[in-house]
Amino acid sequence: MSENCCSQASAGSAVCELPSSTIQRLSYPETVCFECHQRGKAVQRQTVKALVSVSLRAIQDTQYYFCRTQSCPVVYYAADWKSTFTIPQLRERVYQKEPNADDVYVCYCFRYTVTEIRNASSETRVVIVNDIIAGIQSDQCACDLRNPQGSCCLGNVRSLMKQVNRMSTQP
Ligand SMILES: [Zn+2]
Confidence of residue 14 (pLDDT cuts 50, 70, 90): low
Rounded distance from Cα 22 to ligand 1 centre (Å): 25
Rounded distance from Cα 73 to ligand 1 centre (Å): 7
Rounded distance from Cα 68 to ligand 1 centre (Å): 7
What single-letter DSSP state applies at residue 101?
-
> With 80 as the cut, is the pLDDT of residue 10 above it?
no
Q: For residue 42, what are the β-bridge partners?
A: 65
Rounded distance from Cα 167 to ligand 1 centre (Å): 29
* Overall average pLDDT of the 43-53 stretch: 97
Rounded distance from Cα 40 to ligand 1 centre (Å): 7
Which runs of E-coded beta strand occur in 5-149? 41-43, 64-66, 74-78, 84-86, 105-107, 112-113
The Cβ of residue 50 has, within 10 Å, a number of other Cβ atoms equal to 19
> With 70 as the cut, is the pLDDT of residue 27 above it?
no
> With 50 as the cut, is the pLDDT of residue 20 above it?
no
> The pTM is what?
0.82
